[in-house]
Amino acid sequence: MAANLPPLVVRLFVKPPIVPLLLVAGFVDGFWSLGNLRTLAESISTDGIVVVGMTVVMIAGGFDLSVGAVMAMGGVAAVVLLPYGIVAAALGAVIVGGLAGLLSGALVTRLRINPFIATLAVMVMVRGATLAYTDTRPVVSLDDTFLALGGGRPVPYAFIVLLVVMAIAHVALTQRPWGRHVYAVGADERAAAMSGLRVVRLKTQCYVISGVLAGVAGLLLAARLGTGSPIIGEATPLTAAAAALIGGASLRGGEGSVGGAFIGLLFVGCLINVMNLLGVPSYYQRMTIGGLLFALVVADGALMRLRPR
| pLDDT tens, residue by residue, 121-141 | 999 999 999 999 999 999 998
Higher pLDDT pick, 143 / 255: 255
Cα distance between residue 91 and residue 219, in whole Å = 10
- Residue 93 CB contacts under 8 Å (≥ 6 apart), including other chains: 74, 75, 77, 78, 215, 216, 218, 219
In the chain, the amino acid numbered 27 is: F
Instruction: Identify the pLDDT of residue 1.
Output: 44
Class of domain 2-306: mainly alpha
Cα distances from 178 to residues 82, 184, 190, 203, in angstroms, run 35, 10, 17, 11
Burial of 197 (0-12, 13-18, 19+ CB in 10 A): middle
Cα distance between residue 83 and residue 160, in whole Å = 26
pLDDT per position as a tens digit, 129-173 = 999 999 999 999 878 888 988 888 888 999 999 999 999 999 999
Residue 184 has pLDDT above 70, yes or no: yes
- Global pTM reads 0.91
pLDDT bracket for residue 20 (50, 70, 90): confident
Length of the chain: 309
Instruction: Identify the pLDDT of residue 143.
Output: 83
Instruction: Identify the pLDDT of residue 252.
Output: 86
- Residue 278 CB contacts under 8 Å (≥ 6 apart), including other chains: 28
Residue 12 has pLDDT above 60, yes or no: no
The chain-wide mean pLDDT, for the chain, equals 89
Percent above pLDDT 70 for the chain: 92
pLDDT bracket for residue 50 (50, 70, 90): very high
SS (HEC) of the chain: CHHHCCHHHHHHHHCCCHHHHHHHHCCCCCCCCHHHHHHHHHHHHHHHHHHHHHHHHHHCCCCCCCHHHHHHHHHHHHHHHHHHCHHHHHHHHHHHHHHHHHHHHHHHHCCCCCHHHHHHHHHHHHHHHHHHHHCCCCEECCCHHHHHHCCCCCCCHHHHHHHHHHHHHHHHHHCCHHHHHHHHHHHCHHHHHHCCCCHHHHHHHHHHHHHHHHHHHHHHHHHHHCEECCCCCCCHHHHHHHHHHHCCCCCCCCCCCHHHHHHHHHHHHHHHHHHHHCCCCHHHHHHHHHHHHHHHHHHHHHHHHHCCC
Strand-strand pairing, 227-228 and 139-140: antiparallel
Residue 282 has pLDDT above 90, yes or no: no
- Mean pLDDT, residues 204-208: 98
Task: Specify whether the CB–CB gap between 234 and 68 falls below 8 A.
Answer: yes
Higher pLDDT pick, 222 / 20: 222
pLDDT bracket for residue 250 (50, 70, 90): confident
Beta-ladder partners of 140: 227
Q: Which of 66, 65, 92 is nearest to 78 (CA)?
A: 92
Higher pLDDT pick, 24 / 303: 24
First vs last C-alpha separation in the chain: 24
- Residue 87 CB contacts under 8 Å (≥ 6 apart), including other chains: none
Higher pLDDT pick, 299 / 42: 42
pLDDT per position as a tens digit, 77-128 = 999 999 999 999 999 999 999 999 999 999 999 999 999 999 999 999 999 9
Highest mean pLDDT among 178-192, 233-247, 263-277: 178-192
- Mean pLDDT, residues 8-32: 71
Q: Which of 80, 100, 126 is nearest to 213 (CA)?
A: 100
Instruction: Identify the pLDDT of residue 159.
Output: 94
- Mean pLDDT, residues 64-84: 96
Q: Which of 195, 222, 216 is nearest to 53 (CA)?
A: 216
